[in-house]
Amino acid sequence: MSMSNPAPPRQTIIGPEAQARTAPLARLGDYLQLTKPRIAVMGLVSVGVGFALGSTGELQWVLLAHALWGIGLVAVACSVLNQYVERSSDALMRRTEDRPLSAGRISAAEALAIGIVAAAAGLLWLLLFVNLLTAALSLATLLLYVVVYTPLKRISSICTTVGAIPGALPPILGWTAAGGGLDLGAFALFAVLFVWQFPHFLAIGWLHQDDYAEAGMKMLPAVPQATGWLAVMYAIALIPVSLLPERAAIAGDAYLLAAVALGLGYLAAAIRFAFEQSKETARGLLWSSLIYLPLLLLALTWDHFQLLR
């Protein structure tokens, strides 16, 4: 009985016509990736929360739509211009080397043009259809993120503190878009998001420390072993800071209970990371941060509207 060689596996050959049909979809995917949609959506959710909390009467849905559109365009500009500035360092890191700009699928000139147009359109939209204060704060967010924070990442680990400022401004943009001023309520929202970011970004920095070092970025403190205890310190500080919305009369007792419970959970994850710095505990802290924030904002919004009844 003779044995014949098995037939080679059939290869699928994509012809020029099929490639032409898929090319526009791939291009659209690259543009979408350039905007960092997950970060943009999270930012716009916090804008919506700020708008709801800053509204004194019924929600003005048309005004909210204008605010989300204008702020969304500015958020796109932040992401695109950040990647434009960091295109060389992104190409050196495994987690970012396949981004459209660093991989060369979108040119630097094209990204710069998209970023500038999105920024100008968003700021003009906010000026025309929302208000001057929201437009000015959006401009400040853009400048702090792209002009200050992004280049500072190569100079000093203080960049995390600077970057936390624009990161905490989205709910304030929603608050002012609804007509609120820069009062205690706005400060309470800012303070919560400002402090929340530190354990979150310390976990990310620790997980990707080799990548950041390869690209010359100083995202961790001078002594990386202290990263976990810094996260614990900020998680402890977050608990009293998270109670500020009640002091500002935009939430009540139900929110206080939720804030303390969520804060203790966040702190427990930080303590675990501090005692055993590993990929598992760092990811646990990261996921804890991603669970904490939406649940806190949900509790804050729900309790705020209970107070208004």
Q: Where are the domains of the chain?
A: 32-181, 183-309
Q: How far is CA 62 from CA 96, 128, 129, 177, 187, in A?
A: 37, 13, 10, 11, 25
User: Can you tell me which residue has the tokens 């800053």?
Assistant: 54
90 has a pLDDT exceeding 80: no
Is it true that domain 32-181 has CATH number 3.40.50.80? Answer: no
Res 211: pLDDT? 79
Residue 284 pLDDT > 70, yes or no? Answer: yes
Predicted local distance difference test score (pLDDT) of residue 21: 42
Mean pLDDT of 268-283: 94
Cα–Cα distance between 298 and 212 in angstroms, integer?
34
pLDDT reported for residue 13: 41
The pLDDT value given to residue 223:
63
| pLDDT at res. 224 | 66
pTM: 0.86
> Residue 95: its pLDDT value, please?
77
pLDDT confidence of residue 218: 73
Q: Which residue has the higher pLDDT, 291 or 56?
A: 291
Q: What do you get for the CA distance between the two ends of the chain, in Å?
A: 87
For residue 181, what are its two tokens? 């001023």
| pLDDT value of position 127 | 97
Q: Which two tokens stand for residue 11?
A: 């290869």
User: Mean pLDDT in the chain?
Assistant: 87
Amino acid sitting at position 88: S
Q: Which of 83-97, 100-114, 183-197, 265-279 comes out lowest in average pLDDT?
A: 83-97
Tell me if residue 34 falls in helix, strand or coil.
helix
The more confidently predicted of residues 24 and 56 is 56
Does 110 have pLDDT greater than 50? yes
